[in-house]
Amino acid sequence: MPPGVDPEAFSWFQTVDADHSGYISIKELKQALVNSNWSAFNDETCLMMINMFDKTKSGRIDIFAFSALWRFIQQWKNLFQQYDRDRSGSINFSELQQALSQMGYNLSPQFTQLLLARYSQRASNSSIQLDSFIQLCTQLQSITDAFQEKDTGRVGSVRLSYEDFLTMAATRML
């Protein structure tokens, strides 16, 4: 087993690496991850996570990157279970509102509703599964970081040129 790699992540890697190439492709990752309703993780979230941990820009990840990705997913899974207060296996509007507030976001109910509509599956417009929860929180954090880099005085508003705005959006779209 490679040094610094979690034994559980290592064992999972062997299973997920279906063609034994030594790398996990987005297709293999997608097949390995399921939500609590047994649906496969959505493509957008899998692509986002591969891009986050694939430092070589090859579209696949080795055991070390996979180990980091595995920890990342475990952390979000724990938070998801913590915020899923009614143990339904999904996050509804009030659970999402509470989750975001506990993460330090100060968002209106209207904006939370917009997030829920954007990230929930078409079939269930009122709640989100683990994959979309990871995607929502990661993208919200990334966009918030971009804003706060500009909002140096922490006043909650910034002046942006059109191209600054586009740059912010383009570089944060994972």
Check: CB of residue 92 under 8 Å from CB of residue 83. Answer: no
Contact between 84 and Ca ion by CB under 5 A: the answer reads yes
Tell me, by CB under 5 A, how many residues bind Ca ion.
3
Check: CB of residue 144 under 8 Å from CB of residue 105. Answer: yes
Mark the segment that binds Ca ion (CB under 5 A) among 48-56, 83-91, 102-110, 147-155: 83-91
In the chain, which ranges are continuous DSSP H helix?
7-16, 26-32, 43-53, 63-83, 93-102, 109-119, 130-150, 162-172
Using the 8-state DSSP alphabet, how is residue 155 labeled? S
Q: In the complex, what is the shortest distance from the CB of residue 88 to Ca ion, in angstroms, rounded to a whole number?
A: 4
Residue from the set 21, 74, 88, 101 that interacts with Ca ion by CB under 5 A? 88
Mark the segment that binds Ca ion (CB under 5 A) among 5-13, 23-31, 87-95, 147-155: 87-95
Could you give the CA distance from residue 153 to residue 170 in angstroms, rounded to a whole number? Answer: 24
User: Nearest residue by C-beta to Ca ion?
Assistant: 88
> Binders of Ca ion among 60-79, rule CB under 5 A?
none
Contact between 126 and Ca ion by CB under 5 A: the answer reads no
Q: In the complex, what is the shortest distance from the CB of residue 134 to Ca ion, in angstroms, rounded to a whole number?
A: 16
